Chains A and B, each alone.
Chain A
Amino acid sequence: MTATLLTRRRALASAFALGVSVEFLGRQALADPHSQSRKLVIIVCRGGQDGLSVSPPVGDAHYAALRGAIAIPGFEAANGALRLDDTFGLHPALQTVHALALKGEARIAPAVATPDRERSHFEAQDVLENGATSPYAISTGWLNRALQALGPRSGVTAIAVAPTAPLILKGAVESASWSPGGGAEPDHRLPAILQDLYAQDPLLGPALAQGLATQGMARAANAEVNQEMANANSSFSESAPQGLTNGPAAAGYLRRGLPEARKIGLTLAAFMTAPGGQQVAAISVDNFDTHANQGASAGQLAARLAYLDAVIAGLHEGLGAEWSRTLVITATEFGRTARVNGTGGTDHGTASTALIMGGALTRGGIVGDWPTLAPAALFENRDTRPTLDMRALFKAALRDHLGVDRRALEALVFPDSAAARPIEGLVA
Chain B
Amino acid sequence: MTAKTSLQGAIAVTRLGLGARPGEIAAASADPKGWVLDQITPMGAPPYWPEMPSAATRFIQFAAARQERRTAAAAAAKTGQPAPDPVVQIRALIRQDAGVDFLRRIQFAAATDAGFQERWALFWSNHFTVSGLKPQAANLIGPFEQEAIRPHVFGKFEDMLVASSTHPAMLLYLDQAQSIGPNSRAAAFLARSGRKPGLNENLGREILELHTVGVEAGYSQADVTEFARALTGWSLAGPNMPDREGQFLFRPNAHEPGVRAVMGRRYADDGYFQGHRILHDLAVSPHTAHHLATKIARHFVSDTPPDSLVQTLKAAYLRSEGDLGEVARALVGAPETWDPSPVKFKTPYEFVVSSARIGGGFGARPERIGPVLASMGQRPFAAPSPKGWPDDAASWADGDDVFKRLSWSDSYARQVIAERDPMALADAALGPRLSPLAGRTIARAETRGEGLAILLMTPEFQRR
CB within 8 Å of B: which residues of A? Answer: 46-48, 121-122, 125, 163-164, 167, 183-184, 186-187, 189-191, 193-194, 196-198, 201, 203-204, 206-215, 286-289, 291
| Bound-complex Cα distance A176 to B189 (A) | 72
Q: Which of A125, A189, A201, A214 contacts B459 (CB 8 A)?
A: A201
Given A163-B414, A198-B459, answer yes or no on A211-B400 (Cβ-Cβ < 8 Å): yes
Within 8 A of A (CB), among B434-464: 437-438, 441, 444-451, 453-454, 457-459, 462
CB within 8 Å of A: which residues of B? Answer: 345, 393, 397-403, 406-407, 410-411, 414-415, 418-419, 421-422, 437-438, 441, 444-451, 453-454, 457-459, 462
The interface residues of chain A lying within 8 Å CB-to-CB of B421 are 122
A190 and B454 within 8 A (CB): yes
Given A204-B462, A211-B402, answer yes or no on A197-B410 (Cβ-Cβ < 8 Å): no
A186 and B400 within 8 A (CB): no
Given A184-B414, A204-B402, answer yes or no on A122-B448 (Cβ-Cβ < 8 Å): yes
Q: Which of A125, A163, A196, A211 contacts B447 (CB 8 A)?
A: A125
A207 and B397 within 8 A (CB): yes
| Bound-complex Cα distance A189 to B457 (A) | 13
Listed A/B pairs (19) with beta-carbon separation below 8 Å: A46-B447, A48-B446, A121-B447, A122-B451, A164-B418, A183-B411, A184-B415, A187-B449, A189-B446, A193-B450, A193-B454, A194-B457, A197-B438, A203-B345, A204-B459, A207-B402, A211-B400, A213-B399, A291-B444
B415 and A214 within 8 A (CB): no
A186 and B407 within 8 A (CB): yes
The interface residues of chain B lying within 8 Å CB-to-CB of A48 are 446
Given A193-B454, A291-B444, answer yes or no on A207-B399 (Cβ-Cβ < 8 Å): yes
The interface residues of chain A lying within 8 Å CB-to-CB of B418 are 164
The interface residues of chain B lying within 8 Å CB-to-CB of A125 are 447
B454 and A197 within 8 A (CB): yes
Residue of B nearest to A348 (CB): B444
The interface residues of chain B lying within 8 Å CB-to-CB of A196 are 441
Q: Which of B415, B422, B453 contacts A190 (CB 8 A)?
A: B453
Closest chain-A Cβ to B376's Cβ sits at a distance in Å of 12
Closest chain-A Cβ to B461's Cβ sits at a distance in Å of 11
Closest chain-A Cβ to B156's Cβ sits at a distance in Å of 38
Closest chain-A Cβ to B215's Cβ sits at a distance in Å of 28
| Bound-complex Cα distance A206 to B415 (A) | 28
The interface residues of chain B lying within 8 Å CB-to-CB of A164 are 414-415, 418
The interface residues of chain B lying within 8 Å CB-to-CB of A209 are 399
Known: A207-B398, A287-B446. 4 other contacts (CB 8 A): A47-B446, A122-B447, A193-B454, A204-B462
Q: Which of A167, A194, A287 contacts B406 (CB 8 A)?
A: A194
Given A187-B449, A190-B457, A197-B441, answer yes or no on A208-B415 (Cβ-Cβ < 8 Å): no
| Bound-complex Cα distance A287 to B445 (A) | 10
| Bound-complex Cα distance A167 to B449 (A) | 12
A286 and B447 within 8 A (CB): yes
